[in-house]
A = this chain, B = another copy of it.
Amino acid sequence: MEIRQHLSQVDLFKGLTVEELEAIARIVSNKEYKKGQLIFSEGDEGVGFYLVISGRVKVYKLSPEGKEQIMHIFGPGQPFAEVPVFEGSRYPANAETMDNCKLFFFPKKDFVSLILENPSLAMNMLASLSQRLKQFSNLIETLSLKEVPGRLASYLLYLSDKNGSIDEFKLDIAKSQLASLLGTIPETLSRIFTKMGNRDLIRTNGPQITILDRTGLEDLAEGETKL
């Protein structure tokens, strides 16, 4: 069955037996969303969680004035919106697709039953939440202790790493979305890109980035240098 194929490739379900995977597959429902579609809003009743099969999903908060802070961007293989499954009942943020997406949906009640019968699954879920917690710590640190140039430098180095530590790569999201992820606005981000170019730290061509001075970027990311 196709669902089980997908599940078996996901970290959350690694190490599980075929029978366990089948049990999980039985509770899954398939969902499709168009690009830019709202999946749920902050405060909505949390009836279950999701797994990204294809496309990307952003989870974000909005200020009353409409400023957006992206908390996390989820890609294929990643679960999101688990919080209301285990604590409280409402989603603490908004979720929206960034591409056309295929998602699996896991109803809260059914999934909790599975967890209670399956300690490995529980451990996997604990690992997943712990990882998220670590990522959130990093975001908090970044937002509160680094200036925007440092945040951007960190992000570029992270992207480079993800691409095998190569010096040339493409931004995986639009710059305006990157601004929101870094806790700033497009104008500010754009100015910093320009400055980084002037200092010969990077070269940009649209979404294409070339790292010219890796050490310089690292110093920026660590707050040892200013632009």
Contacts and interface: CB of A to CB of B under 8 A. Distances in A.
A87 interface: yes
The dominant DSSP class at the A interface is helix
Interface of A: 61-65, 67, 69, 71, 82-88, 92-93, 112, 115-120, 122-123, 125-134, 136-141, 143-146, 183, 222-224
Contacts of A126: 86-87, 115, 122, 125-126, 129
B143 A144 contact: yes
A177 to B, nearest CB: 15
A137 B134 contact: no
Nearest to A223: B64
A145 B66 CA distance: 9
B133 A83 contact: yes
B115 A123 contact: yes
A120 to B, nearest CB: 8
Contacts of A63: 145-146, 223
A86 B145 contact: no
Given A61-B137, A63-B145, A133-B133, 6 more contacts: A61-B141, A64-B224, A83-B134, A86-B130, A92-B138, A136-B137
Contacts of A133: 83, 92, 129, 132-133, 136
A144 B88 CA distance: 24
A7 to B, nearest CB: 19
B64 A140 contact: no
Nearest to A182: B144
Given A139-B140, A223-B65, A87 B130 contact: yes
A69 B222 contact: no
